[in-house]
Amino acid sequence: MNHIADLPFSGDAFFGGEIFNAARALNEGWMIEFDRDSRVRLRGVFYSDLEAWWHVAREAARGSEYHQAALRELCEEERFAIEVHCGPLATTIL
């Protein structure tokens, strides 16, 4: 597993046309995780994955482009799991 915070850059990544700041995510208690099968998942750092999902989904619903960009990068299975537990995502995912 690779975590975005482990990648060799200053903490910013380019996600779907948006700059993603890994340090900000870690400060909020979550991170983006990549596995070798190209699945991208959202993980809790200071609390459970479910709590991290709720946080990111809630902020995206409030209009945060940063959190919406993170949700757009997740694999289909992860988005589905978040929607099952947190309700429909507030961002269009294409």
Regarding pTM above 0.85, the answer is no
Backbone angles phi, psi at 14, to 5 degrees: -100, 110
Q: What is the mean pLDDT of residues 72-85?
A: 88
Nearest to 20 by CA among 34, 1, 36: 34
Q: Is 68 helix (H, G, I), strand (E, B) or coil?
A: helix
CB 72 within 8 A of CB 56: no
Q: How far apart are CA 13 and CA 3, in angstroms?
A: 12
Q: What is the DSSP letter of 5?
A: G
- Token code pair at residue 40: 């991208």
Q: Read off the pLDDT band of 26 (50, 70, 90).
A: very high
Q: What is the mean pLDDT of residues 58-65?
A: 90
